[in-house]
Amino acid sequence: MAGEGSLALVFRGDSGVALRCVLPFEAAPGEFRLLRRAVRSTLGQWGALNATDEVELVVTELATNVMKHVGQGAPATLVLEPRGGRLRVELHDKSPVLPKPGGVAGCEEECGRGLHLLASMSADWGTLLTGTGKAVWCELSLDADAVCARAQRAHTVLGSYRELLGMRVPLQPSRSRVNQETAVTLIADLLVWLALQGSDPDEALCRAQQLYEADEAA
């Protein structure tokens, strides 16, 4: 069983490209809780917390299938990527054997259940062979499109702002602290700029808070 700190996370999107979260893990029960926690944290940063329960369920089913049919402790990688009004979920492993949704002796109850769940919850799904094995993917609808778009814009701006400040972001989960400090510094700089332009920084903060609360309510 993997240890508490074994789950790695690679977070991309600081150069204006689409957001993408890559989570390497081992297909073992001890990893699944860490995997769900990382999914929840990532969706929170992207402003899509309303989809967390559904995504966690799909991810758990996919990871469990890898453990059952590839092997406990098998290396795998979860990829999350928002695409417009959908979230693309991919689970990569090193087995070239594609799963089937039923009709195979001894398979229908175990692997069929997970695939039927994907079909019922997803806007689209499928499987594909990769250079190192296979991937099972699905696309889930995101209700909070406007919130997700706002989060993507903020992430892109923060990436450029970190480059301006000469800051480097570690690849481990401590990046959230770096993002928070960068955002606070950016907000402070914007307040200074507003004051120099003759605007009221307090009024701007109030309006920003109102926009945030409106998005949260939505």
Q: What pLDDT, on a 0 to 100 scale, did the predictor assign at position 15?
A: 44
Tens digit of pLDDT for each residue in 148-203?
A: 666 767 777 777 787 787 766 554 444 567 778 888 888 898 899 888 888 888 98
List, for residues 53-101, the tens digit of each pLDDT value: 889 999 999 999 999 999 999 999 999 998 877 899 999 999 999 887 6
Instruction: For residues 103 and 119, give the distance between their C-alpha atoms in angstroms, rounded to a whole number.
Output: 16
Whether 111 shows a pLDDT value over 80: the answer reads: no
Report whether pLDDT(9) > 60: no
> What is the spatial distance between Cα 91 and Cα 209, in angstroms, rounded to a whole number?
37
CA 209 to chain centre: 25
**Residue that wins the pLDDT comparison between 156 and 208:** 208
Question: Model pTM?
Answer: 0.60
Residues 39-53: what's their mean pLDDT? 85
CATH architecture of 10-143: 2-Layer Sandwich (3.30)
Give the pLDDT of residue 135: 95
3-state secondary structure 25-54: EEECHHHHHHHHHHHHHHHHHCCCHHHHHH
The predicted pLDDT at position 154 comes to: 77
Res 114: pLDDT: 65
37: nearest Cα among 70, 66, 59, 65: 59
| Domain definitions of the chain by residue range | 10-143, 146-217
Pick the more confident residue, 41 or 168: 41
Stretch 19-43: mean pLDDT: 91
Q: What pLDDT shows up at residue 184?
A: 87
DSSP reduced 3-state for 108: coil
Identify which of 89, 86, 83 has the alpha carbon closest to the alpha carbon of residue 35.
Answer: 89
- pLDDT, position 169: 55
The pLDDT score that the predictor gives to residue 53 is 87
In the predicted structure, residue 132 carries a pLDDT above the cut 80: yes
Mean pLDDT across the chain: 78
* 5-8, long-range: CB < 8 A, 24+ apart: 6/31, 6/34, 7/31, 7/34, 7/35, 7/38, 8/171, 8/172
- pLDDT tops 50 at residue 16: no
Q: Which of 131, 132, 182, 143 is nearest to 159 (CA)?
A: 182
